[in-house]
Structure 1
Amino acid sequence: MNNVDMKQEHTVSMAGRKTVELTGVQQVERFDSSEFLLQTVMGKLKVRGSGLKMKHFDTVNKKAAIEGRISSFLYVDSSAGKSFFKRSK
């Protein structure tokens, strides 16, 4: 991430577990109807649920909106995919 990205605001706003609006979204890494993986200025963010679809994605202003039945948000630590033994070193 460059200095401009670090200064950009990252917000998550959810309305009734049906729509989530985000700022500070750099890219959509992968998605399907049950999970979105987004790269944000604050790290990777997983949005999980059912019937999920991208309502809006503005690459210039780094804003996104996802709709469907939202069940969870999870910021993914880069070490989460490593084994216990590799993390303890």
Structure 2
Amino acid sequence: MKEFVLGTDAQYEMLKQSLNDDRCHVYERCIFPSSFSRPSGRIGFEKEQVGYALFIDKGLTCSCPVASRLLKSWLKAGTLKFLDYTDMKVFLRSLTYLY
């Protein structure tokens, strides 16, 4: 996760282009923040007919007292949907406070 939260614009553009193959892209052993219930796990990205889906290992928790409801919801459900790629990128970058 750290790899995506702190990713450059060029890295995000490469990810966006890779999602045009209509497949789910799963990244193993992503580094989670120390406030998460596990140190590492999987993150997935998928371009859908309408928008994008962001996946994470389901059932994680976050002990950070200022964690947003959206973050906690994503961790609990394992999936978060976005209308466009920019919204997903903004969400991930908004998590820099966790690192």
Task: Bin the TM-score by the shorter chain.
Answer: 0.3 to 0.5
Greater fraction of residues in strand: 1
The structure with the largest alpha-carbon Rg is 1
Could you tell me the TM-score, scaled by structure 2's length? 0.33
User: TM-score, normalised on structure 1?
Assistant: 0.35
